[in-house]
Amino acid sequence: MSHARVESIKEESINRITKDLNKYVRILKELVSYRSVTSWGLDEVRDCASYLSDLLKERGFKVSVKSYGGAPVVLAEVGSGSKSFIMYNHYDVQPTDPLDLWRSDPFNLDARDGLLVGRGVADNKGNIVARIAAVDSLLDYLDVLDLRVKFLIEGEEEVGSPTLAKVVEDNLSWIRADGGIWESAYVGRDGRLEIPLGLKGILYVELILRGPSRDVHSGYAPLIPNPAWRLARLLSKIKDENGVVLVPGFYEDVDPEFASAAEELIKGMEYGELEGMLKELELKEFVRSLKGVDALRELYMRPSLNISGLYSGYTGKGVKTIVPSTAGVKIDIRPVPGQDPRKLLESFKRYLIELGYSDVEVLVHSIYPSGYTKPSENVVKASVKAAREAYGQDPRLAPLTGGSGPIYLFTSIAKTPMTGAGVGYYGSKVHAPNENIRMNDLINGMKHVALTLIEFAQGAP
């Protein structure tokens, strides 16, 4: 296609996005209004999937909504070109507690002062809307671009995507594409888009320790074994005072190809991005006083092990005096490329036994490996060029996000290279109260997806 023709498609696409912006904000408002928290139950989750299905059908997509037992997955396709492109998204969101810290109802999009506040606006409903807007703006040109666009929108990402592996297995040839976009990418403090080329895996376990068969009046505390003390001692042996994980083999098996690509990318990254977090979170410093390249390496190249929740006994207001019958901890472990989370789980369990905790109940809530795409892939180059145009600045490529997602199902199982796009920014408060995006990032995010599709259709830039 001639350069002039490509430029005119770009111009047309961007004009449409700008003109129809309010329409997409209304769609986002509708989407946010569904309390699609899968761990709360499936009623509103199913309603949200239906709404998405209708939305895509209106645009000429062929849609199928499939259920694998839990929240349904929406599969949709438009266009008939020879190049295929897939968008991964999820319509489920995190729970909203602590509710009293929200400035407004998390399920009622609050648009004020250039901000859009609501659960899911950044993670990941805003991205769904941006991608729909991008495809809308190119619907008339899909044939010219020889492009076929697919959406896979699941409803179980925030509970660890328990059925996505089955979805991918059952629809493997449909899912396999020449390139795709994952859910995440965000704008940094310097206005540059940060595109992660992969995600960590996850191993989410809950450990439950038991003491007496019921809570006992703590007058008997001098005699009754208290599982809360035992849990505290166990935790102090899982991580040392410097934050180093003591589970044998925890840092081993990292893919050397990933490691060298990551080292290269980290050279181009800005530590300032992370330093800004310190101020925002009112922290003096990061763990082990990490900074600069060391902090970037820790975040983007190494596995993590974190306490997401801790509970035992009476946690309400005021005073209650008991020896609790149970104590529990929710731990999220995030492996990097090359690491097998099942091997990590076995090593973790062996370590528990070694420490004398063989009686501890280990619930595995979620488990999958990491996945990533090499920076040299066409789809990555297309998204980099598109970002330069949409944001007016070079994007920053990150080897991974600190977060997790089952991207390995696309990159490893479906052999589809994936890049990033996203409407969030460094202050989006993902997973926290007052999750928000900036209106301007929403517009740029829409443009970026549209331009990525156009660049990708042209072949390697």
Interface positions, 351-390, toward a copy of itself (CB under 8 A): 365-366
Considering the rule CB under 8 A, would residue 158 count as an interface residue with a copy of itself? yes
Considering the rule CB under 8 A, would residue 422 count as an interface residue with a copy of itself? no
Query: Whose CA is closest to 373, among 335, 339, 340, 420?
Result: 420
Measured from the CB of residue 318, what is the shortest distance to a copy of itself in angstroms? 3
The number of angstroms, rounded, from the C-alpha of 227 to the middle of its chain's C-alpha atoms is: 34
Closer residue to a copy of itself in complex, CB, 84/401: 401
Considering the rule CB under 8 A, would residue 431 count as an interface residue with a copy of itself? yes
CA distance linking residue 39 with residue 44, whole number of Å = 11
Find the binder of a copy of itself among 332, 377, 441, 455 (CB under 8 A).
Answer: 332
CA distance linking residue 32 with residue 117, whole number of Å = 10
Interface positions, 16-55, toward a copy of itself (CB under 8 A): 38-39
Closer residue to a copy of itself in complex, CB, 267/284: 284
CA distance linking residue 148 with residue 371, whole number of Å = 24
Considering the rule CB under 8 A, would residue 168 count as an interface residue with a copy of itself? no
Sign, Cα dihedral of 50, 56, 60, 61: negative
Contact characters 392-421, a copy of itself, x per CB under 8 A? ---------xxxx-----------------
Decide if 33 contacts 51 (C-beta within 8 A). Answer: no
Considering the rule CB under 8 A, would residue 124 count as an interface residue with a copy of itself? no
Considering the rule CB under 8 A, would residue 320 count as an interface residue with a copy of itself? yes
Closer residue to a copy of itself in complex, CB, 140/220: 220
Mutual angle of helices 439-457 and 378-391, in 10-degree steps: 140
Strands (E), 179-260: 179-181, 186-187, 193-196, 198-200, 202-210, 216-217
Return the range that interacts with a copy of itself (CB under 8 A); candidates 126-134, 230-238, 408-416, 449-457: 230-238
Query: Whose CA is closest to 366, among 316, 399, 332, 400?
Result: 332
Closer residue to a copy of itself in complex, CB, 176/297: 297
β-sheet with 401-404: strand ranges across: 371-372, 198-200, 401-404
Measured from the CB of residue 315, what is the shortest distance to a copy of itself in angstroms? 4
Find the binder of a copy of itself among 143, 280, 346, 361 (CB under 8 A).
Answer: 280
Closer residue to a copy of itself in complex, CB, 25/221: 221
Measured from the CB of residue 326, what is the shortest distance to a copy of itself in angstroms? 10
Measured from the CB of residue 96, what is the shortest distance to a copy of itself in angstroms? 10
CA distance linking residue 236 with residue 231, whole number of Å = 9
Which structure tokens are listed for 41?
Answer: 């139950």
Considering the rule CB under 8 A, would residue 274 count as an interface residue with a copy of itself? yes
Q: Which amino acid makes up residue 433?
A: P
Q: Which amino acid makes up residue 222?
A: P
- Give residues with Cβ within 8 angstroms of 147, minimum separation 6: 79, 81, 83, 84, 85, 138, 453, 456, 457
Considering the rule CB under 8 A, would residue 276 count as an interface residue with a copy of itself? no
Interface positions, 188-217, toward a copy of itself (CB under 8 A): 200, 202, 204, 211-217
Count of residues in contact with a copy of itself, rule CB under 8 A: 89
380 φψ region: left (φ > 0), alpha (ψ -120 to 50), beta (else): alpha
Interface positions, 60-119, toward a copy of itself (CB under 8 A): 94-95, 97, 101
Considering the rule CB under 8 A, would residue 272 count as an interface residue with a copy of itself? no
Considering the rule CB under 8 A, would residue 281 count as an interface residue with a copy of itself? yes
Q: Is 335 helix (H, G, I), strand (E, B) or coil?
A: coil
Closer residue to a copy of itself in complex, CB, 256/318: 318
Strand partners, 366: 204
Considering the rule CB under 8 A, would residue 321 count as an interface residue with a copy of itself? yes
Closer residue to a copy of itself in complex, CB, 158/441: 158
Measured from the CB of residue 114, what is the shortest distance to a copy of itself in angstroms? 21
Measured from the CB of residue 316, what is the shortest distance to a copy of itself in angstroms? 7
Residues listed for the chain: 461
